[in-house]
Amino acid sequence: MGIQPSHAGRGFEAENGKILTQTVIFTFNSRPFTGYRGEILAAALRRGGIVALGVSAVDGTPRGAFCLMGSCQECLVLVGGVPRNACRAVVDDGLCVTSIAPLGGGS
């Protein structure tokens, strides 16, 4: 069933099998995604099938979250217009996330 752990629904540390966090809606490049409040953006997007988060500023090739510990800087996206690492920023309701356009314009 994809990249959701097959444990999903077993309810570790959950009450009555219910996940103890709120589902929220955010957008990535204008597309709506569901996530869980407080989880890192990179995780929510990957669950939603998004692997490429942006493009290399130098050559425009697609790039994604690589180190996931704030070291490689490749998962930089705009969160509400502010450049932030998707491995650090957390999901919240109504969050507007966009890829950063390559240097020198482009789409």
Partner 1 sequence: MTRRPDVVVAGGGVAGVMAAITARRHGLAVTLVDDNATPGGQVFREPSAFARTVTPPDHERREGDRLRELLRRSGVRVLSGWGIWSVQPGYRLDLSNDFAVQVLEAGSLVAATGAVERFFPFAGWTDPAVMGLAGASLLMRAGGVLPGRRTLVAGAGPLLFSVAHQVLDAGGEVVAIVDTATRTQWAARAATLALDPARLKTGVAWMARLARAGIPVLGGAVIRQARRGEDDLDVTIGSVRGGAPVRSVRCDAIACGYGLKPSLGLTRMLKARHVFDEAAGYWHPHADPFGRTDVAGLYVTGDGAGVRGAQMARLRGILTGHGLAFDHGRIDAATLAHLARPLLRAMRRLEVVSRAMTSLMNPRPAIMKEAEMHAPDTLMCRCERVSIAAGGQAIRDGAGDMNQFKAWTRCGMGPCQGRMCEDSARQLLARHTARAPTEVGAFTQRLPLRPVPVRALSGNFAYADIVLPQAAPP
Binding site for partner 1 (CB under 8 A): 1-8, 10-14, 19-21, 36-40, 42-43, 46-47, 51-53, 56, 58-59, 61-74, 76, 82-84, 87-90
At closest approach, how far in Å is the CB of 49 from partner 1? Answer: 10
For residue 92 the two structure tokens come to: 């919240």
List Cβ neighbours of 9 (8 Å cut-off, separation of 6 or more): 17
Q: How far is the CB of 30 from partner 1 (least distance, A)?
A: 19
Structure tokens at 106: 């482009």
∠ Cα 100 89 41 (to 5°): 80
Nearer to partner 1, 2 or 94 (CB): 2
Rounded Cα gap, residues 57 and 31, in angstroms? 23
State which residue, 61 or 107, has the beta carbon closest to partner 1.
61
